[in-house]
Amino acid sequence: MNLLLIEDDDAIAEPLQNGLERQGFVVRRESTGIAGIEVLNGSFHPEIVLLDLGLPDIDGYEVCRRIRVSSSVPIIVVTARGDEIDRVLGLELGADDYLVKPFGFRELVARIHAVTRRTSGRDETVDSPIRIADGFTVDLRSRRAILDGKELALTRKEFDLLALLATEPGAIHTREEILEQVWDAHWYGPTKTLDVHIASLRRKLGDPTLIETVRGVGFRLRSGSSPVTKGTETADTGEGS
Ligand code: CA
C-alpha cells in the first residue's frame, strides 16, 4: 500500500517510515505541506495520507483542505494538538481520522487499516443511484450526491453519513450506529463531531428538514424520501403526514 507521510520532524518521521516499511507500506515522505500536496499531482499515488498539523510552511488544516479540492484519498491527521476544537475542525476539513501524539505504532497501523477498509468497502457497494427527493440522488458507487443537476461538494464523512441515511429513508439511525458505521467501531472522539457533520450536511443540502433529528435517539432521512425510483418522477413528495 502506498502511503504519503507529511511530517517535518525527522525524529518522528524516520522511525515511523522505517516501521511502516517493515509492515509492507511503500512510504513517500515529505517535510512540507506544499511538497506533500505536489506529490498528489505526481506519479506517486498514495492510498492513504498521514498528515502532521504543525508544518513549517502551511498549516496542516490548509493542506487537508487543498488535498480535498481534488482528491478523496483517506487522510489521517497526526497531531500534538489534542483539544476538541482542533479535532472537530480537522474532521470538518475532510480528514478521516486523527491520532494525537504520542501514539503507539500498532494503534496507527490499526487506524490505517480501519480507514482503508472502510474506503474500499464503500467502493464495493454496488447500488443504483438512490433518489432522495425530486432532483436529488445519491450514487453510492461513484460516491456522488447530485442536487438539481449539480454535484454537491461533500467531504468524505459527509457523504458517508448521507449514504448511510439514504440506504433506508425513513428509518431511524441511532447516534451509536452512525458513529460506529461512519467513523469506526473504535471512535473515542467527541460525539459532538456527529452533530457538526449533520449541521454542515444540512447546510449543503440547502433543505434542513431533509434530515430529521429524532430527539435523544438519532437521525433519519425524511420519510417522504424514497429509495431507487430512477426515472420515475413522482408529482410531489408533500410536506404532510
Ligand atoms: Ca511538526
Q: How far is the CA of 88 from the centre of ligand 1 (A)?
A: 19
* Residues 28 and 115 reside in one and the same domain: yes
Provide the CATH number for the domain around residue 137. 1.10.10.10
- Residue 179's φ and ψ, nearest 5 degrees, are -60, -40
Q: Is 29 left (phi over 0), alpha (psi -120 to 50) or beta?
A: beta
Three-state SS for 130? Answer: strand
* Residues 37 and 112 reside in one and the same domain: yes
Please give the mean pLDDT across all residues of the chain.
81
In order of 25, 74, 106, 201, 237, the CA distances from 189 in angstroms are 27, 18, 19, 19, 37
* Residues 11 and 111 reside in one and the same domain: yes
Q: How far is the CA of 189 from the centre of ligand 1 (A)?
A: 22
Domain annotation covers residue 238: no
* Residues 198 and 174 reside in one and the same domain: yes
The mean per-residue pLDDT over the stretch 11-19 comes to 94
Q: How far is the CA of 85 from the centre of ligand 1 (A)?
A: 19
- Per the structure, the complete domain to which residue 42 belongs is given by 2-120
More confident position, 88 or 207: 207
* Residues 28 and 100 reside in one and the same domain: yes
Domain annotation covers residue 88: yes
Q: How far is the CA of 129 from the centre of ligand 1 (A)?
A: 42
How many domains would you assign to the chain?
A: 2
Domain annotation covers residue 235: no
Domain annotation covers residue 175: yes
* Residues 100 and 198 reside in one and the same domain: no
Q: How far is the CA of 206 from the centre of ligand 1 (A)?
A: 38
Q: How far is the CA of 98 from the centre of ligand 1 (A)?
A: 14
More confident position, 238 or 193: 193
Q: How far is the CA of 27 from the centre of ligand 1 (A)?
A: 18
**CA–CA dist 132, 176 (Å, integer):** 23
* Residues 176 and 89 reside in one and the same domain: no
Q: How far is the CA of 19 from the centre of ligand 1 (A)?
A: 18
**Each residue's pLDDT tens digit, 134-165:** 778 888 777 888 888 888 999 888 998 998 88
User: What is the structure's pLDDT at 18?
Assistant: 95
pLDDT at 234 over 80: no
**Each residue's pLDDT tens digit, 16-70:** 999 999 999 999 999 999 999 999 888 898 999 999 988 999 988 889 888 888 7
Q: How far is the CA of 159 from the centre of ligand 1 (A)?
A: 30
* Residues 7 and 116 reside in one and the same domain: yes
DSSP notation for 24-43: T-EEEEESSHHHHHHHHTSS
Domain annotation covers residue 115: yes
